[in-house]
Amino acid sequence: LAKTTQPISMDSYEGQEVNITCSHNNIATNDYITWYQQFPSQGPRFIIQGYKTKVTNEVASLFIPADRKSSTLSLPRVSLSDTAVYYCLVVFFGNEKLTFGTGTRLTIIP
Amino acid sequence: NAGVMQNPRHLVRRRGQEARLRCSPMKGHSHVYWYRQLPEEGLKFMVYLQKENIIDESGMPKERFSAEFPKEGPSILRIQQVVRGDSAAYFCASSPRSTGDEQYFGPGTRLTVT
């Protein structure tokens, strides 16, 4: 059964680096792993997308090991405005199922 | 280039009434997705549509729920004979090509069933 698992919550102090991991089995061979950020009462917002190894953009990095059974979103030097829920989204092999992770509620402490 | 539009933003219905939620994808996007988010819970996939076709509706409840994405006009998520358990935020997203593309989300419609 396809499943995506994330830690329920994390706390971090301002200025630190935060790593959030998503575990996913049976991921589709040719499909990407995507991470989204959601603030209360808003729709999710795209952060980063990757297929393998490492991807970096202006706000985050994404690390994907060779077996692709997990991925780690890395937020450098977090600030209070990064307090939000973070979701990974994967597409599962065989049935193209779009499955959001359980979500990680990140709280940044001043 | 306007983002994904959803209306209404808030919808109140009495039990047994019908709810119609509309979604206009971003210009040039032919793929639409609907998700439901119950209070304090994560996003659950409902249905994936391309123009005039339902590609995957495996996340839709078998009864009372339907979706369409006509050749012209917005995508519609329709809930018949609403019950209190249907109260949730319904998000629409669109992408230019396939399920592997980045999805752009609308602001959501918050349905309250009284």
pLDDT digit string, tens, across residues B1-12: 579 999 999 999
What are B11-37's pLDDT values in tens digits? 999 999 999 999 999 998 999 999 999
* Residues 52-91 of chain A whose Cβ lies under 8 A from any Cβ of chain B: 85, 87, 89, 91
What are B65-74's pLDDT values in tens digits? 999 999 889 9
- Check whether B98 has a pLDDT greater than 90: no
- Inter-chain contact A98–B33, Cβ cutoff 8 Å? yes
Q: How confident is the model at residue B64 (pLDDT cuts 50, 70, 90)?
A: very high
CB pairs under 8 A between A and B: 58
C-alpha R_g of chain B: 13
- Inter-chain contact A97–B58, Cβ cutoff 8 Å? yes
Q: How confident is the model at residue A92 (pLDDT cuts 50, 70, 90)?
A: low
Q: How confident is the model at residue A100 (pLDDT cuts 50, 70, 90)?
A: confident
What pLDDT does residue B87 have?
A: 96
Residue B48: which of A36, A98, A103 has the nearest Cβ?
A: A98
The token pair at B93 is: 């997203």
Top pLDDT among A44 and B42 is at A44
| Cis-peptide, bond into residue A110, ω within 30° of zero | no
Torsion sign, CA atoms B31, A4, A100, A60: negative
Mean pLDDT of all residues belonging to chain B: 93
What pLDDT does residue B41 have?
A: 85
- Inter-chain contact B58–A99, Cβ cutoff 8 Å? no
Mark A66-81 as b/e (b = at least 16 C-beta within 10 Å): eebebbbbbbeebeee
Distance from the Cα of B82 to chain A's closest Cα (Å) equals 22
Secondary structure percentages of chain A, helix, strand, coil, to 5: 5, 55, 45
Mean pLDDT of all residues belonging to chain A: 89
Q: How confident is the model at residue A95 (pLDDT cuts 50, 70, 90)?
A: low
What are A2-45's pLDDT values in tens digits? 578 899 999 999 999 999 999 987 777 777 889 999 999 899 99
